Chain A
Amino acid sequence: MGGGKGGVGKTFLAANLAAALARTGARVVAVDTDVEGANLHTWLGVGSPRASLADFVSGRVQDPLELVVGTPIPNLGLIAATHGHLAAAQPEPSRRIELLQRLKRLPCDFVFVDCGAGAHPATLDYFLVGDEGVLVLHPEPTSLENAYTFLRAAFYRRMHLVMQKHDVRERVREAMDQRNARGIRTPLDLLREIESMDPEEGRRFARSMRSFRPRIVVNEVESAEEIKLGFSVRSVCRRFFGIDADYVGYVNRDPAVREAVLARRPVVEVRPGSDAAIYVQRIARKLSEAAAAAGAG
């Protein structure tokens, strides 16, 4: 779950999609990586987790499986971001890679990773490691602006990691600066640039570009117009970034969500018949179908 801006509903969706899939019988782990604003545990009804990523960062624990704590929802485990620390640091880059690799191997059907706000390299890596990167939007300009920045940053970071030749990697790094001297404004510009530098890297780039398919969710919609926003964002991504995104659904504004937060439980648990819960369940179904189709787990 990523999306750049704070308050658009990343944690709400992570908690509720995880709970929705757990309710269908899948084994699910929700991971909170937002060390500076950790609260996924509260969305899931876990008061004070007894273990967290902070244990991994400090080196006390090596295996993330030991960090999983139970939640009131059957089949749903949680890895909290912090416990008892005011603000734990993100793991060092090398530890981070280790963490991500281990998270991918957790013995369960789905892992949901809640990214924090912003576009810190750590946040981007958490977003990129997933088989499905879900981009959460709010129907307002501030959210879209941050979401596009986030998407661009995630894209360039991924390409920087995929490219193998030094000069090509340097070019990707240059392109990350939107005001770069070469006039590379979009991923498509960069593709053309790299292709002219090195055809082999160009092919690698294009292949990786194709598999970068963010899933768009528009949260707190109030009108049919706002629902269509997801399709429009998909068009903008295609036209201006050359990135294919999928619009996997929307969740409408529903007072049941606030009720659920106050009860510190996922809305799919306390109000399964509410609008928000029904929409979340549909998105969960779509994501699990996509994962099944991709042969991922």
Chain B
Amino acid sequence: MARMREEHAGARGGALDHYELLELPRDATREAVERAYRLARSTWADDALAAYSVADGAELAALRERVELAYRVLSDAEARGVYDDALGALAAQEPGEPDLGFDDEEVKIPAELPAEIESFDDLDEPEDGHWSGASLRRARLSRGLELEQVTAVTKVNPLYLRCIEEERFEALPTAVYVRGFVTAYARCLGLDAARVSGDYVERLQAARPSHGLRRRPRTRP
């Protein structure tokens, strides 16, 4: 029972509820909850850059504790359902916006919460229509992924991934392997793997001196 009270504590008078704490809308998907939780954890981490000079260790610790609690509730379908019902009941009791101590039809602080942690508008179409190491890196960063995370999925050595992004062709193995690496990388990002690897291998072959056996890459119409 004590635990139950604790989990509903945030929903009461003025304090942020779990959704507000994680900056999520009430209908946030499970995936959005995960993303928001990871972001909140890094935002309020002890050595976090973003809160530097603003929040002290105790404030950060308190925030982290609340984030963990919010996540425990929102990531568990059953607990979330109970919590939502409690929030709904509270809203029915006290209609209106969080009380700021005065009434003004216009004023809501914070203003509307973002729909979810938005990713930047997609960079999935390379600027000149051809995939390159740089456009792969942009697509990766726009998804918030580090190279190590790509390695974890693709099993491709991060050194190779870095060489692919930086187009250090001399450090890469033969085209057959590179095609495989790039295909795995592109797939991990959810891109059209055949097109990305085709474009990339074309660049690789154009940059490498022909060994006679290899046909010159055809240029695209």
Q: Which of B140-163 contact A (CB under 8 A)?
A: 140-141, 143-146
CA distance A295 to B128 in the complex (A): 32
- The answer to whether A282 touches B121, judged by C-beta atoms less than 8 angstroms apart, is yes
Q: Which residues of chain B come closer than 8 Å to A48, judged between CB atoms?
A: none
Find B50's partner among A144, A207, A252 (CB 8 Å cutoff): A144
Find B102's partner among A144, A199, A228, A229 (CB 8 Å cutoff): A199
Choose among B54, B108, B117 the residue with the greatest number of A CB atoms under 10 Å from its CB. B54
B101 CB within 8 Å of chain A: yes
- The answer to whether B102 touches A231, judged by C-beta atoms less than 8 angstroms apart, is no
* Nearest CB in chain A to that of B47: its residue: A141
- The answer to whether B55 touches A236, judged by C-beta atoms less than 8 angstroms apart, is yes
CA distance A191 to B63 in the complex (A): 22
- The answer to whether A225 touches B42, judged by C-beta atoms less than 8 angstroms apart, is yes
CA distance A242 to B111 in the complex (A): 10
Find A240's partner among B55, B100, B143 (CB 8 Å cutoff): B55
Q: Which of A226-241 contact B (CB under 8 A)?
A: 227-229, 231-233, 235-236, 238-240
Q: Is the interface of B mostly helix, strand, loop or mixed?
A: loop
- The answer to whether A225 touches B146, judged by C-beta atoms less than 8 angstroms apart, is yes
Q: Which of B151-183 contact A (CB under 8 A)?
A: none
CA distance A148 to B51 in the complex (A): 10
Q: Which of B42-71 contact A (CB under 8 A)?
A: 42-43, 48-55, 63
For A55-66 the 0/1 string (1 means CB < 8 A from B) is 000000000000
Q: Which residues of chain A come closer than 8 Å to B134, judged between CB atoms?
A: 275
Q: Which residues of chain A come closer than 8 Å to B120, judged between CB atoms?
A: 249, 282
Q: Which residues of chain B come closer than 8 Å to A195, judged between CB atoms?
A: 100-102
- The answer to whether B49 touches A229, judged by C-beta atoms less than 8 angstroms apart, is yes
- The answer to whether A236 touches B54, judged by C-beta atoms less than 8 angstroms apart, is yes
Q: Which residues of chain A come closer than 8 Å to B100, judged between CB atoms?
A: 191-192, 195, 206
Choose among B23, B39, B49, B108 the residue with the greatest number of A CB atoms under 10 Å from its CB. B49
- The answer to whether A206 touches B49, judged by C-beta atoms less than 8 angstroms apart, is no
B218 to chain A, nearest CB (A): 22
A170 CB within 8 Å of chain B: no
Q: Which of A180-196 contact B (CB under 8 A)?
A: 188, 191-192, 195-196
Find A206's partner among B23, B40, B104, B138 (CB 8 Å cutoff): B104
B110 CB within 8 Å of chain A: yes
CA distance A202 to B104 in the complex (A): 10
- The answer to whether B102 touches A203, judged by C-beta atoms less than 8 angstroms apart, is yes
- The answer to whether B49 touches A224, judged by C-beta atoms less than 8 angstroms apart, is no
- The answer to whether A192 touches B53, judged by C-beta atoms less than 8 angstroms apart, is no
A8 to chain B, nearest CB (A): 14
Q: Which residues of chain A come closer than 8 Å to B117, judged between CB atoms?
A: 231
Q: Chain A, interface size: which category?
A: 35 or more
Q: Which residues of chain A come closer than 8 Å to B40, judged between CB atoms?
A: 235
B4 CB within 8 Å of chain A: no
For B9-52 the 0/1 string (1 means CB < 8 A from A) is 00000000000000100000000000000011011000011111
Find B106's partner among A207, A239, A249 (CB 8 Å cutoff): A207
- The answer to whether A210 touches B109, judged by C-beta atoms less than 8 angstroms apart, is yes
Find A232's partner among B43, B108, B121, B138 (CB 8 Å cutoff): B43
Q: Which residues of chain A come closer than 8 Å to B78, judged between CB atoms?
A: none
A206 to chain B, nearest CB (A): 4
For B114-143 the 0/1 string (1 means CB < 8 A from A) is 000100110100011000001001101101
* Nearest CB in chain B to that of A241: its residue: B54
For A135-162 the 0/1 string (1 means CB < 8 A from B) is 0000111001100110000000000000
Q: Which residues of chain A come closer than 8 Å to B140, judged between CB atoms?
A: 224
Find A140's partner among B49, B109, B110 (CB 8 Å cutoff): B49
- The answer to whether A232 touches B101, judged by C-beta atoms less than 8 angstroms apart, is no
Q: Which of A214-271 contact B (CB under 8 A)?
A: 221, 223-225, 227-229, 231-233, 235-236, 238-240, 242, 244, 249, 252
B150 to chain A, nearest CB (A): 10
Q: Which residues of chain A come closer than 8 Å to B143, judged between CB atoms?
A: 224
A122 CB within 8 Å of chain B: no
Across the A-B interface, give the 10 residue pairs with the lowest CB-CB distance, nearest first.
Answer: A232-B50, A232-B43, A145-B53, A206-B107, A141-B52, A224-B144, A233-B50, A144-B52, A235-B43, A203-B104
Q: Identify the B interface with A (CB < 8 A).
A: 23, 39-40, 42-43, 48-55, 63, 100-102, 104, 106-111, 117, 120-121, 123, 127-128, 134, 137-138, 140-141, 143-146
Instruction: Please name 7 pairs of A and B residues whose Cβ atoms are closer than 8 Å in the assembled complex, sorted by A.
Output: A141-B53, A144-B50, A210-B111, A236-B54, A239-B63, A273-B127, A282-B123
Q: A232-B51, A235-B23 are in contact. List 8 more A-B contacts (CB 8 A).
A: A139-B49, A144-B49, A195-B101, A209-B109, A221-B141, A225-B146, A273-B128, A278-B123
